[in-house]
Structure 1
Amino acid sequence: MAADIASAPYALPLNEAPPAFYRFYAHIGVVGVFADVDAKIKAAGTVIPGSKMSVPATVAPALELGYRVTPNWAVSLSGGIPPTSILNAGGSIAAEGKLGSTVAAAPTLTLHYHFLQLGAFQPYIGGGGSYLIVFNSRDGSLSHLRVDGAFGVLGQVGTDIMLSERVGLFVDLKKGILHTNARGAFGPVPIKTSVALDPLALTGGVTIRF
């Protein structure tokens, strides 16, 4: 029994190619995104003292497609159904309530190293980049709301827990550094905001190799 487990493709020694090497894989699951917002809000070019912005967490279906260059090294592209994010006023402008909302996504491209010497438990670590794509912006107390697309960088850690050669479970954590700009108006007063979103994305679901 021990020999059978040791020889399975999901329990390989480091850098040893499996007899049946599945180069492609998919992570299918649900992602929760938690933004760590730091915003500098300016009215007519002057910072509004004590002003803040917050973005509540969102949950959406997620998909990551990966390709193993070697048994240990892989690249992947991840994304999902773009969620609606609410932009809320805080601090000295909290009375403004909901500033607006956006429908946006940040597809990520990452390179990661997979540790295969631990049997069915296969952790990985990596990093890469993302791009914020804003599909739609809706006004709230802030009129003529526009949010810019932006590039970001991120780190990634996670693990596959293989139930068989081809099917398993996964948990994945990505931490990004992503800054963008937003603009609009409070009545006749132009507003411009520099926003550090720095999101944390926690994903879990099913691994399928093919």
Structure 2
Amino acid sequence: MKLQSLVLATAAALTMTTAFAVPAGTWSVAAGAHYVDPKSDNGSVLGGAYSVDVDGDVRPTISGEYFIANNVGIELLAAIPFHHDFTLTDAAGGELKGKTQHLPPTLSLQYHFDGYNMPMNVKPFVGVGVNYTTFFKERISTGGDLKLDDSVGVAGHVGLDVPFTPTEAFRIDARYMDIKTDATLDGKDIGEINISPWVYGVAFVKQF
């Protein structure tokens, strides 16, 4: 439902007219940091014998956006690898520990509410797109060969730019990413891990 709301908000925004303030052809770059906060229930593996819990992580990020029309941009988000520890817990409370790294590049179509004469000249925006997450350096405490498949899913984006010069702003934002990965251990399928995090961030934004 949260993702559906983001999609509907983006569609509605793209149909609105206003006194445009970000012209087509503008570039922007945002440099900051984001915290990946996985959903609370990350599924189960080995036929339901172990529940999965994935912890969060924060890393520096950078994004570039090109405005293909007034107030409408295409943004690509990149980051250095996120690191996640995870715990597999059985019914008796026994635990297996593991870890992985991932890169989550995300491409979004965004609408910026720029030129609406809002208080303090703040500039909200919404977006929807696709996330591709690739996993690597998987480890598990049993010493087995753990592999996590790459994931492709829908991504939603909402945020707010607070300008302090005509071309510079402070950004706060939140993203939803549909990230699910099939896990194999020693070549055998052990189940799906559902990470599907909310991603919260801050950044410095510069327009060109």
Equivalent position amino acid for 1:87 in 2: F
Equivalent position amino acid for 1:175 in 2: Y
- Distance in 2 between the 1:93 and 1:182 partners? 22
| 1:26 Cα deviation after fit | 1.0
RMSD of Structure 2 on Structure 1 (CA): 2.2
User: Is 2:28 aligned against 1:25?
Assistant: yes
Equivalent position amino acid for 1:202 in 2: Y
Listed as ranges, the matches of 1:166-181 within 5 Å are 166-181=167-182
User: Is 2:71 aligned against 1:35?
Assistant: no
Distance 1:34 1:62, change over 3 A: same
| 1:79 Cα deviation after fit | 1.4
Listed as ranges, the matches of 1:1-210 within 5 Å are 14-16=18-20, 23-36=26-39, 37-42=41-46, 47-49=47-49, 51-92=50-91, 94-98=93-97, 100-116=98-114, 117-119=116-118, 120-141=121-142, 143-184=144-185, 192-210=190-208
Long gaps (5+) in structure 2:
1-16
| 1:40 Cα deviation after fit | 2.9
The answer on whether the counterparts of 1:14 and 1:72 sit within 8 Å (CA) in structure 2 is no
SS of residue matched to 2:18:
coil
- Distance in 2 between the 1:93 and 1:77 partners? 44
- Distance in 2 between the 1:17 and 1:194 partners? 45
Q: Based on CA coordinates, which of the two structures has the bigger radius of gyration?
A: 1
| 1:142 Cα deviation after fit | 5.6
- Distance in 2 between the 1:169 and 1:93 partners? 48
Long gaps (5+) in structure 1:
1-12
- Distance in 2 between the 1:136 and 1:129 partners? 24
| 1:203 Cα deviation after fit | 1.0
- Distance in 2 between the 1:160 and 1:83 partners? 25
| 1:135 Cα deviation after fit | 3.0
Equivalent position amino acid for 2:82 in 1: P
Calculate percent identity across the aligned residue pairs: 22
- Distance in 1 between the 2:26 and 2:150 partners? 32
Aligned length: 188
Q: Deviations over 1:64-89 (max 9, x none)?
A: 11111123101100011102111211
| 1:171 Cα deviation after fit | 0.7
1:6 is aligned to none
- TM-score (normalizing by structure 2): 0.82
| 1:110 Cα deviation after fit | 0.2
| 1:14 Cα deviation after fit | 2.1
- Distance in 2 between the 1:93 and 1:39 partners? 17
1:5 is aligned to none
